[in-house]
Amino acid sequence: MGIRKGRRPGSPDTRAAILAAARDAFAERGFDRASIRQIAASAGVDPALVHHYFGTKDELFLAAVQAPADPRELLPQVLAGDREQLGERLVRMFLGVWDSPAGPAAAGILRAAVSHEWSARLIREFLVSQVLRRVAAELDVPDSDRRVALVASQLMGLAMARYIIKLEPLASAEPAWIVAAVGPALQRYFTGELPDLPTMG
């Protein structure tokens, strides 16, 4: 009676279960407050097994949140089409990702990025080298790196307000409305007039 030691019969994919539990835990409780013991319990498994599969907690986090969405797959859809509606397409895709099953993972990354420098570095490197740089290369306007950073700031703010802080009425607004409201703002960052760099002195 009770749970015996040793290998269990059948072949449940325990590894995947742990990963799923970790994903959930990190997403809704953040890195610090998500505990390995709790993740293990939630996966119906001993904590040591978590360490057996994924080493340390940091590694588990990396395994759990890696690639919530692949920019190499998504960006071309956004970049294709006329440049005058780039902003709206980007917001639409952004909301699509966050409202998808990948959303919680993204929330986990964002939560972790706020409290851990190494995770902030992670998201920064990801944004810069996987997303922003590619978009910037596709734009044929000057100051493209500044432009994409402004775009990133608005999108991060949108995610914070809508999914983390849950600020109303943004949190429960229709995606279509948000696209129409925020899209043009991004469009201006992309292709509109921006100030020159201030000349010192």
Partner DNA sequence: GGCAGAATTCATCACCTGTTGAATTCCACG
Partner DNA sequence: CGTGGAATTCAACAGGTGATGAATTCTGCC
Interacting residue with its own copies among 94, 136, 170, 190 (CB under 8 A): 170
Interacting residue with DNA among 20, 30, 42, 47 (CB under 7 A): 47
CB of 56 to DNA, least distance (A): 3
Site for DNA in 55-114 (CB under 7 A): 55-58
Site for its own copies in 129-158 (CB under 8 A): 145-146, 149-150, 152-158
- Determine the Cα–Cα distance for residues 127 and 131; give it in Å rounded to an integer: 5
81: partner contacted, choices its own copies, DNA, none (Cβ within 5-8 A by kind): none
Q: Which two tokens stand for residue 188?
A: 């201006």
CB of 68 to DNA, least distance (A): 21
Backbone angles phi, psi at 8, to 5 degrees: -95, 145
Q: Which two tokens stand for residue 50?
A: 């978590």
Q: Is 42 in the site for DNA (CB under 7 A)?
A: no
CB of 11 to DNA, least distance (A): 6
- Determine the Cα–Cα distance for residues 52 and 70; give it in Å rounded to an integer: 28
Question: Residue 60 CB: number of other CB atoms within 10 A?
Answer: 23
- For residues 22 to 51, the per-residue mask of contacts with its own copies, x marking binding by CB under 8 A and - elsewhere, is -------xx-xx------------------
CB of 18 to its own copies, least distance (A): 22
Q: Are 25 and 36 in contact (CB under 8 A)?
A: no
Q: Are 61 and 30 in contact (CB under 8 A)?
A: no
58: partner contacted, choices DNA, its own copies, none (Cβ within 5-8 A by kind): DNA
- 3-state class (DSSP) for residue 162: helix
User: In Å, what is the CA distance from 171 to each residue of 118, 165, 181, 187?
Assistant: 29, 8, 14, 22
Q: Which has the closest alpha carbon to 90: 105, 103, 75? A: 75
- Residues lying near DNA in the complex (CB under 7 A): 2-12, 14-15, 34-38, 44-49, 51-52, 55-58
